[in-house]
A = this chain, B = another copy of it.
Amino acid sequence: MAVTLKDIAKKVGVHPSTVSRVLSGKYDNFNVSEETRKLIFETVKKFNYAPNEMARNLRLQKTQTIGLIIPDILNPFYAGMARSLGIECEKKDYSFIICNTDEIQEKEINFIQMLKRRRVEGLVITPVQESKDHFKELIEENFPFVLASRYFDDFETNAVVTDDYNDVFKAVEYLIKLGHNRIGLIRGRKASSAIQDREKGYKGALAKYNMQIDQDLIVGNGCTIEGGYKATKEILNLPERPTALLVSANVIVVGALEAIFEAGLSVPDDVSVVGFTNMKSTPYLSYPLTSISQPIGQLGKRAFDLLFQHIQSPDEQKYKKIILPSKFSVGKSTQKALGS
């Protein structure tokens, strides 16, 4: 099969350890004659030798690999995270293995097991958050991992999240100042801490302006187009329709808009809409959506940085939670409420 270090040693007529020392470069100009070194390099090139990383890794007790566990790579949010994580990985000669949970808790647990067997050096995880004991185990073992975009509030971990509470608070405040007093919240997956924080931000903003919280205006659970469609349809059928909607997760805005247009309503004339997205354009709209733009690239980058730090110095580990602010960008999907 593939050429091994032994093969090279035999060809050159030296001991494998000599070849290894020369190739590692650690003993450059030292302990090995110029002549031998040259011959080894030539032979390596000639036979196109490439070290077996499996063997190397076993010996060196490392894999240069991390695991990325996310709900779904088809969601541009996670694809973006994966992309920037990939860029950081490349810089440090790491590779990463992607696993999609589809928000199924069991899958997450199995993936973690699998990746540990493969001896990945760390994990970046957007947790399903239906159970959490397995993370406590990871902490006990001091296994490096970073939560991305979600976190647990009852124990410390490394985490990189967006400032969901304040991001939504500001967006809702903006809607209130436009005169909206019936603002609907189309929620994402309730189990997600991010979604919960967004709901809190929504309620916090209403509270600040002494507005009543109407549970009928808080609908939806799940992060699919279909889910967004149904939830929006529901909220639009209320006797007293909301005049503005905050759609608290990226892809569901598509379903929301679909429902709005199907109901014969127009944006922003009948309903103002604020979404979560980092795209310039949105389906159904020929103008920019007013939206909370999350720093997706930063999420991936910072998660890697944190993870790498833990991997490099496992002993002096102190858990950090990094909170990144989003950018609120006003588009044309929001306007003053009628009569204000």
Contact = CB atoms under 8 A, between A and B. Distances in A.
Interface of A: 1, 50-55, 57-58, 61, 63, 65, 72-74, 76, 79-80, 82-83, 86, 95-100, 113-114, 116-119, 225, 254, 258, 261, 279-286
B281 A258 contact: yes
A53 B284 contact: no
Contact of A282 (B76, B114, B283): B283
Contact of A72 (B83, B95, B96, B280): B83
A73 B86 contact: yes
B74 A99 contact: no
Given A65-B97, A284-B285, A284-B286, 8 more contacts: A54-B63, A86-B100, A95-B97, A95-B99, A261-B286, A283-B283, A283-B285, A285-B286
8 contacts: A74-B83, A76-B76, A86-B98, A95-B97, A95-B99, A225-B280, A254-B281, A283-B285
A54 B57 contact: yes
A285 B287 CA distance: 10
A98 B96 contact: yes
B86 A53 contact: no
Contacts of A83: 72-74, 100
A310 to B, nearest CB: 15
Nearest to A50: B117
Contacts of A55: 58
A1 to B, nearest CB: 8
A95 B79 contact: no
Nearest to A118: B53
B284 A281 contact: yes
B82 A98 contact: yes
A226 to B, nearest CB: 10
B97 A96 contact: yes
A52 B281 CA distance: 47
A117 B51 contact: yes
A333 to B, nearest CB: 13
Contacts of A118: 53-54, 95
